Amino acid sequence: MITLGVEEEYLLVDPDTALPVPWADDVRRAAGVASLAEDGEVQNELLQSQIEVATPVCMRMDEVGGHLLRLRHAVASAAEERGCRLLASAAAPVRGPAPVPVTPTPRYRKMEGEARQLVDEQLISGMHVHVAVPDPETGVAVLNRIRVWLPTLLAMSVNSPLWDGRDTGFASWRTIVFGRWPVSGPPPHFHGYSDYEERVESLISSGVIADRGQLYWQARLSDRYPTVEIRCLDVQLRADDAVMLAGVVRALVEVAIADEKAGVASPVCPPELLQAANWHAARHGLDGSLLDPAGRRRSSGDVLCMLLRHLAPALEDSGDQREVSSLVHRLLREGTPADRQRRALAEGGMPGLRRLLLGTPAG
């Protein structure tokens, strides 16, 4: 089986108000010396109210789940020790009057100077899945083949409907916030690895982005690992939903590699239609319809069934078919994390929402 790893970003918030607090250094230090967290697994992010965890390289889905639970518990315990809470929502539901300070590194300071408002509003949290590929050429072929499924993945993961204390009307407001950076959204189609490199170098040479870290495409080649990195996902309320999404992503990569070796034609979707599908997924989640990989409007349930059929060979080979299918069907029955946030707000107001978001961080 192909190896994978998962990164999750969280916000640190006040337990009574859910307002972001700039205590990431304290929490990271506390989590870093705890018996539950190993060196390098807990990192700072752009803003001082953000913290990121990264699993080791994993082979099986139960490994992914075990590490995510371990790391969530470690960081949540460290946060409580400091007097704050871990928030596994993909956007801060409320914000204070003053911006959260930037983590004081040269790179982040430079970003702040160049795009102050965007940095101030970067109170968002994603989930990134790294899946191993044998070489960069294969990695680019994988990007070309999975890009048409990124809106579906986004719709399954939506977990950021609220901003400034009110419903935005979007199921993933994180996607809209992130989409304002110069290189973002679904990646383009590339004519091989050399084309990928030439276009990346052109973007950096333009001076509009400073480095490869600012390639905020929803899927890209990792600059640190021999992997493709899928970045379109909102962070999840529950760890088992994160495991489901990781299993789906790995299976997508496995099918893409098999299809590339077999000479199956790469799927084609015009960039404007793919961008529209991505916006639609961020707006609605699984509530109603999605655009399928060919850009045709279908019910969300039909598109998820298409996805499971597409992934069936890889899920069967890895032994993940039963678990992933069960969790996908639960998602269809119970709704997305964005749906759960909206229900909590409707039934209990902001106190009810805080109970949902802060009550069970390891969920």
Q: Residues 55-93: pLDDT tens digits? A: 999 999 999 999 999 999 999 999 999 999 999 999 999
Euclidean distance between CA atoms 209 and 12, whole angstroms: 28
Residue 30 has a pLDDT of 84
Strands (DSSP E) contained in the chain are 4-13, 42-44, 50-54, 85-87, 126-132, 162-163, 166-167, 184-185, 216-217, 219-221, 227-234, 289-291, 297-299
Tokens 């300070």 found at: 101
Which residue ranges form the domains of the chain, and what is each CATH number? 4-359 (3.30.590.20)
Euclidean distance between CA atoms 91 and 96, whole angstroms: 14
CB atoms within 10 A of CB 275: 15
The answer to whether residues 117 and 181 touch, using CB atoms and an 8 Å cutoff, is no
**Signed CA dihedral, 348, 354, 360, 363: sign only:** positive
Euclidean distance between CA atoms 53 and 32, whole angstroms: 11
Sequence letter at residue 31: A
**Signed CA dihedral, 212, 154, 108, 83: sign only:** negative
Q: Is 17 helix (H, G, I), strand (E, B) or coil?
A: coil
Considering the entire predicted model, what is its pTM?
Answer: 0.96
Sequence letter at residue 317: D
Residue 37 has a pLDDT of 66
Residue 1 has a pLDDT of 81
DSSP class of residue 180 equals T
Q: How do the pLDDT tens digits run along the chain, 363 residues long?
A: 899 999 999 999 999 999 999 999 999 888 877 766 667 799 999 999 999 999 999 999 999 999 999 999 999 999 999 999 999 999 999 999 999 999 999 999 999 999 999 999 999 999 999 999 999 999 999 999 999 999 999 999 999 999 999 999 999 999 999 999 999 999 999 999 999 999 999 999 999 999 999 999 999 999 999 999 999 999 999 999 999 999 999 999 999 999 999 999 999 899 999 999 999 999 999 999 999 999 999 999 999 999 999 999 999 999 999 999 999 999 999 999 999 999 999 999 999 999 999 984 444
Residue 35 has a pLDDT of 67
Phi, psi of 216 (to 5 degrees): -90, 30
Residue 361 has a pLDDT of 43
Over the stretch 249-286, which tens digit does the pLDDT of each residue have? 999 999 999 999 999 999 989 999 999 999 999 999 99
The answer to whether residues 220 and 187 touch, using CB atoms and an 8 Å cutoff, is yes
